[in-house]
Amino acid sequence: MDAPPAPQTDLPVPTAAQPEAPAVPESLKPYVVYLHGKPFIRYVGLLALAHERGLVQLTARIEFHSDALVLASATATFQDGRVFTEWADATPDNVGFQVRPHWVRMALTRAKSRCLRDALQIGIAALEELADE
């Protein structure tokens, strides 16, 4: 019977991977805000960049509505034929105080933000997606 191999002592010590900050196009940097040290993009910046990159249609609709929850979907269509769809939700309790009267529309804005982030390959969340701005 063969003896087990001797343990190697010259192997590198594993370290926790340090996540790199997602790259944000230069034109979006004025729309990046930091909360608690983390970057977030504003919806208006996503929309501006999407138009620069050939957005021809952005639609959003309420898919479900109750007194406590709204689900919305959004679809972005670009000149080159690419189509992206994303969903989001909102409740009266997961929106900021100032937008609470408009919590239903916040689901639409969140869905559009997520849709545009997918289309534009933006790896940071939109400010409007936060549970309480």
Predicted TM-score (pTM) of the model is: 0.78
For residue 34, what pLDDT is reported?
A: 93
Digit-coded pLDDT (tens) for 25-82 = 788 889 999 999 999 999 999 999 999 999 999 999 999 999 999 999 999 999 999 9
Least confident span in 9-13, 82-86, 105-109: 9-13
For residue 99, what pLDDT is reported?
A: 86
> Letter for the amino acid at 128?
E
Rounded to whole angstroms, how far apart are CA atoms 130 and 133?
Answer: 6
> 29-60 burial by CB neighbour count: b if 16+ within 10 A, else e?
eebeeeeeeebbbbbebbbbbbeeeebeebeb
**pLDDT above 90 covers what percent of the chain?**
67
Q: What's the mean pLDDT when you consider all of the chain?
A: 86
| Residues 65 and 49 sit within 8 Å (Cβ to Cβ) | no
* Domain limits, the chain: 28-129
Total count of residues recorded for the chain: 133
Burial zone of 132 (CB within 10 Å; 0-12 exposed, 13-18 middle, 19+ buried): exposed
pLDDT confidence tier of residue 10, bands split at 50, 70 and 90 = low
Q: Which residue has the higher pLDDT, 75 or 98?
A: 75
Rounded to whole angstroms, how far apart are CA atoms 121 and 131?
Answer: 22
